[in-house]
Amino acid sequence: MQYNPGWNNSSVNLLHVRAVGPGDTLHYIWSSIGAPAVLLVATASQSSALHINWTQLLSPAPAGAIWIDPPSSVVYSAAVVFTKVFEYGEAKTLEELFYPTYDLSDFSWDSINHTLNHTALTAEFTGVPATDPSGSFSNGSVAFRVTAYEGSGRDRLLPSLLHTANSSKVEFVLAGVAPRGNGSRFALEVATVEEMGVAQKLRSARSIDDEYTPTIFETLSLVAESQNGSSTLSFLQWKATAYGSQTPRREDGIQCRSRGLQAANWTLPVSGIVRAYFGDGVGSTYTISAINISFGGEDGKVYQEKRYLSWSALLGFGQPPKDTFSPLVISIMAVALGTPMAMLLVGGCVVLFAQRKRYSEYEPIN
């Protein structure tokens, strides 16, 4: 993990996470220059390196300021941008009333240098609006907590996401922000940038096994698929829940919904690193999609009471991890289903045996 590589000023944030495999390298480049975003770059070289022209990156024309060397080693690149936070409630006409949008590209972000943990492989981007006329952020902030992984495992805290070494976690946190209405709910807009020939698809997987995330039976994945080979190139995966506590429990769950994935070529994500890597022609030469992820129940009271909301998602390369039944659940199912079947089998054998055995009180005449 490198903070602002080649730049000594902490007034901006750029975090480079580099994972080296047997014959490839995965690059995650996180930044809050503009809207918070991450570049995902996979290379077929163990020695591929990130290069940044800082003067150009911080200029009004950053196109070409970020590149991977050697360029021929890049086999896949994409970006995920967290663009806006919406706040809305219900009007008297039962329609949704939207308050002025929080554009994350207009936020002021703290230096992540003091939150960077090279042992735990974590960092935190914390920001507030540059102007806050409503005063909602006087005691609050928006944060994106980033975690990298060295191997496979499962997070200890809910929603206990299953991860691999090919993935990282981002946690969106809304803490202490005063709602602008009674029963306000919030939504996060997430945009993706993909190369031509790659399409985003939203998948939903349901399972009866909620062992690791109690009462949550749905997992959603936003996957980038090659239109030619139909192979999955990258993913953003999350459970259909958020939580209203720093130490989440089942009772702290907040309803999480995903509103339809749409093409978003009409609006370009305002992110410095996206323009710096993909160039100024993002809208014409790359595919941009956007999805809104909303949090809150029917009345939005969970956040109103606790003033805290956290939502976790996994992002990475290749296929998203899939949960399987654990040995404990398999054993319970085997006992629960096997015992009645065994009783039916034994009972059937007893009945058949009893029917075959004939009883009589009379002796045969002959």
Share of residues in the chain with pLDDT > 70 (%) = 88
Q: Kindly state the tokens that stand for 184.
A: 């306000």
d(CA 180, CA 52): 40
- Residue 308, burial from CB neighbour count under 10 angstroms (0-12, 13-18, 19+): buried
In a domain, 325, yes or no: no
User: Each residue of 272-302: pLDDT tens digit?
Assistant: 999 999 998 777 788 899 999 999 865 557 7
- pLDDT for 318: 94
Residues 251 and 131 both lie in one domain: yes
Share of residues in the chain with pLDDT > 90 (%) = 70
Q: Which domain holds residue 280?
A: 79-317
Calculate mean pLDDT across residues 70-95. Answer: 88
Calculate mean pLDDT across residues 347-360. Answer: 71
CA 95, distance to chain mean position in Å, is 29
User: Each residue of 234-261: pLDDT tens digit?
Assistant: 999 999 999 999 999 998 999 899 988 9
In a domain, 162, yes or no: yes
Residues 228 and 351 both lie in one domain: no
Flag whether pLDDT at 180 surpasses 80. Answer: yes
Residues 310 and 346 both lie in one domain: no
Residue 183 or residue 74, greater confidence = 74
Residues 163 and 295 both lie in one domain: yes
Backbone angles phi, psi at 273, to 5 degrees: -75, -30
Confidence of residue 80 (pLDDT cuts 50, 70, 90): very high
Flag whether pLDDT at 192 surpasses 80. Answer: yes
Calculate mean pLDDT across residues 202-207. Answer: 93
Residues 293 and 360 both lie in one domain: no
Flag whether pLDDT at 267 surpasses 70. Answer: no
Most confident of 207-211, 219-223, 335-339: 219-223
- pLDDT for 356: 65
- pLDDT for 93: 57
Residues 306 and 341 both lie in one domain: no
- pLDDT for 71: 96
In a domain, 15, yes or no: no
Backbone angles phi, psi at 72, to 5 degrees: -70, -15
In a domain, 32, yes or no: no
Gyration radius (Cα) of the chain, Å:
26
In a domain, 69, yes or no: no
Residue 169 or residue 364, greater confidence = 169
* Mean pLDDT of all residues belonging to the chain: 89
Residues 123 and 239 both lie in one domain: yes
Calculate mean pLDDT across residues 295-322. Answer: 87
In a domain, 66, yes or no: no
Residues 304 and 346 both lie in one domain: no
Residues 271 and 123 both lie in one domain: yes
d(CA 200, CA 260): 12
Q: Which of 239, 238, 244, 186 is nearest to 215 (CA)?
A: 239
Calculate mean pLDDT across residues 40-63. Answer: 96
- pLDDT for 102: 97
In a domain, 234, yes or no: yes
Residues 252 and 186 both lie in one domain: yes
Residues 101 and 205 both lie in one domain: yes
- pLDDT for 87: 94
Q: Which of 173, 176, 186 is nearest to 87 (CA)?
A: 186
- Give pTM, 2 decimals: 0.88
Residues 181 and 275 both lie in one domain: yes
In a domain, 349, yes or no: yes
If one counts the domains in the chain, the total is 2
- pLDDT for 308: 95
Pairing mode of beta strands 102-103, 198-206: unpaired
Confidence of residue 359 (pLDDT cuts 50, 70, 90): low
